[in-house]
Chain A
Amino acid sequence: MLYLTRKAEFSASHYYHNPEFTPEENRRIFGKCNNPNGHGHNYTLEVTVKGEVDPRSGFVVDLKQLKEIMHREVLDAMDHRFLNKEVPEFLHRIPTTENLAIIVWRRLAAKLQSAMLHRVRVYETPDLFVDFYGES
Chain B
Amino acid sequence: MKAHLSRRYRFSASHRLHSRDMSASENQSTYGKCNNPHGHGHNYTVEVTVSGPVDESTGMVCNLADLDRFIDKEVLARYDLENLNTLQEFARQVPTTENLCITIYELVQRGFTQAHLERVRIEETMMNSFEYSGDNLPRF
Contacts and interface: CB of A to CB of B under 8 A. Distances in A.
A94 B6 contact: no
A31 interface: yes
Given A31-B65, A102-B3, A21 B8 contact: no
A34 to B, nearest CB: 11
Contacts of B8: 126-128
Contacts of A16: 58-59
A101 interface: yes
Contacts of B5: 97-98, 128-130
Q: Which of B4, B8, B57, B61 has the most CB of A within 10 A?
A: B4
Contacts of B65: 31
Interface in B1-24: 1-9
Given A102-B1, A102-B54, A128-B64, A96 B59 contact: yes
Nearest to A125: B8
B107 interface: no
Contacts of A126: 8
B58 A94 contact: yes
Q: Which of B1, B2, B59 has the most CB of A within 10 A?
A: B59
Interface string A103-135: 000000000000000000000001111111101
Contacts of B2: 133
A118 to B, nearest CB: 13
B58 A18 contact: yes
A93 interface: yes
Interface string A71-107: 0000000000000000000000111111101100000
A54 interface: no
Contact of B60 (A96, A129, A135): A96
Contacts of A31: 65
A75 B49 CA distance: 26
Contacts of B93: none
Interface in B31-90: 49, 54, 57-61, 63-65
7 contacts: A18-B58, A30-B58, A93-B59, A127-B9, A129-B5, A130-B6, A133-B4
Interface of A: 16, 18, 20-21, 29-31, 93-99, 101-102, 126-133, 135
